[in-house]
């Protein structure tokens, strides 16, 4: 396999991911969430959803938002370093040769093709999850004023398929590149998503109440589960 081929694959997949993100952000701007109710009702019953004055507002702290943007920025920078900068400097500058020597990992063709398959699956699941969430998607940890329990598409069996899609995509491009400039930021972003999942589930449990707790008992967090549903709630 020629040396340029993995770079072309990584840059192509990365471009598709960026375009998908821009497309769904633009789509969300055209269909914004409804306004906050003037007099939200607070329910203390564990069986009822709870409305909060903080709906439509980010529930992440400033440090968490900055950390998320920093890690995503490192992934973007690492991808561009690997796919654009490194090919030009590794044969023309001493520091470029050292950078390539200490960041490139020996790999095999079957690993590259496996990474391509994983990345494509991740992008497909990414688009499917966005389609199912519609305007309820947000890069922040937050709920909407009219937030509903989504149980259609991949959310029928998995609570966080969007995160699963990102895990697959990051792992796939890392396998294709076999380079630490890209793999390390991808790993850090994945660990960040793993760490913030419990906070997101706590917020959804507070807002949606018992239906979400029952939903969580019969679905997998990132992958489907074999557990069967005991109490039925119609998908919305």
182-229 per-position pLDDT tens digit: 999 999 999 999 999 998 899 888 888 898 899 999 999 999 987 655
Percent of the residues in the chain that have a pLDDT greater than 90, as a whole number: 56
Task: Choose among 84, 106, 103: nearest CA to 95.
Answer: 103
Contacts of 172 (CB under 8 A, 6+ apart): 13, 115, 116, 117, 118, 119, 120, 121, 122
Q: What is the pLDDT of residue 50?
A: 47
Task: Choose among 170, 184, 157, 173: nearest CA to 74.
Answer: 184
Q: Considering the chain, what is the average pLDDT of its residues?
A: 83
Contacts of 12 (CB under 8 A, 6+ apart): none
* Residue ranges of domains in the chain: 4-23+55-217
Q: Distance between CA 83 and CA 76 in Å, rounded?
A: 11
Q: What is the CATH number of domain 4-23+55-217?
A: 1.20.120.1630
Give the alpha-carbon dihedral of 89, 95, 97, 101, to 10 degrees. Answer: -130
Q: What is the pLDDT of residue 230?
A: 53
pTM: 0.83
- Report the 10 Å Cβ neighbour count for 82: 27
Q: Distance between CA 197 and CA 135 in Å, rounded?
A: 20
Confidence of residue 18 (pLDDT cuts 50, 70, 90): very high
Mean per-residue pLDDT for 78-92?
Answer: 92
């Amino acid at each position: 396999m020629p040396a340029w081929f993995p770079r072309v694959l990584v840059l192509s997949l990365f471009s598709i991911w960026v375009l998908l993100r821009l497309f769904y952000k633009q789509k969300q701007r055209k269909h914004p969430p409804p306004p906050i109710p003037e007099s939200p009702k607070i329910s203390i019953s564990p069986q009822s959803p709870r409305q909060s004055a903080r709906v439509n507002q980010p529930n992440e702290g400033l440090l968490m938002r900055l950390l998320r943007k920093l890690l995503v920025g490192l992934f973007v920078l690492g991808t561009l370093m690997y796919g654009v900068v490194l090919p030009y400097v590794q044969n023309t500058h001493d520091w470029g040769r050292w950078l390539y020597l200490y960041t490139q990992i020996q790999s095999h063709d079957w690993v590259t093709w496996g990474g391509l398959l994983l990345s494509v699956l991740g992008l497909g699941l990414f688009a499917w999850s966005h389609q199912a969430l519609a305007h309820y998607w947000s890069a922040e940890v937050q709920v909407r004023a009219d937030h509903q329990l989504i149980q259609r598409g991949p959310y029928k069996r998995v609570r966080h398929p969007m995160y699963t899609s990102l895990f697959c995509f990051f792992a796939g491009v890392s396998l294709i590149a076999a380079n630490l400039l890209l793999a390390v930021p991808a790993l850090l972003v994945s660990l960040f998503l793993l760490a913030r999942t419990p906070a997101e589930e706590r917020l959804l449990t507070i807002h949606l109440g018992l239906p979400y707790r029952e939903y969580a008992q019969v679905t997998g967090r990132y992958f489907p589960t074999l557990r069967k549903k005991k109490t039925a709630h119609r998908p919305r």
